[in-house]
Amino acid sequence: MVTVEEKLNIFSKLVFEKVKNECDMKLKIMRDENKKIIEDYKAKKEKEGKDIIEKKIKSGEQKKKQLISKAKNETKRKILSKKNELLDKLTDEVKEKVKQYTEHNVYEEFLNETLNKILIDFKNENKIVLYMTENDINKYKSKVISFFNYKKYNGIFEIKVDKEDIIGGIRAVNGKNTVRIDLSLLAIIKDNKRYIGQILFQELEKESD
pLDDT tens per residue, range 96-126: 888 898 988 899 999 999 999 999 999 889 9
Per-domain residue ranges of the chain: 1-74, 103-207
Q: Tell me how crowded residue 101 is: count the other CB atoms within 10 A of its CB.
A: 14
CA-to-CA separations, 182 to 38, 41, 152, 156, 165, in angstroms, rounded:
89, 84, 23, 19, 13
Does residue 11 surpass a pLDDT of 60? no
CATH of 103-207, one of 3.30.2320.30, 3.40.640.10, 3.60.20.10, 3.40.50.300: 3.30.2320.30
* Among candidate residues 146, 147, 156, 149, the one with its CA nearest the CA of residue 126: 156
Predicted pLDDT at 169: 94
Q: Return d(Cα 130, Cα 118) in angstroms, integer.
A: 9
3-state secondary structure (DSSP) of residue 180: strand
Q: Return d(Cα 63, Cα 69) in angstroms, integer.
A: 10
Query: Is this model's pTM higher than 0.85 or not?
Result: no
Cβ-contact 67, 73 below 8 angstroms? no
* 124-179 pLDDT tens trace: 899 999 999 999 999 999 999 999 998 888 889 999 999 999 999 999 999 888 89
Predicted pLDDT at 26: 60
| Strand order across the beta sheet in which 169-174 lies | 156-161, 127-132, 169-174, 180-184
* 38-65 pLDDT tens trace: 777 777 777 777 777 777 777 777 877 7
Confidence of residue 27 (pLDDT cuts 50, 70, 90): low
* Among candidate residues 163, 162, 173, the one with its CA nearest the CA of residue 127: 173
Please name every residue paired with 130 in a beta bridge, in sequence order, or none if there are none: 159, 172
Predicted pLDDT at 84: 76
* Among candidate residues 169, 180, 187, 191, the one with its CA nearest the CA of residue 112: 169
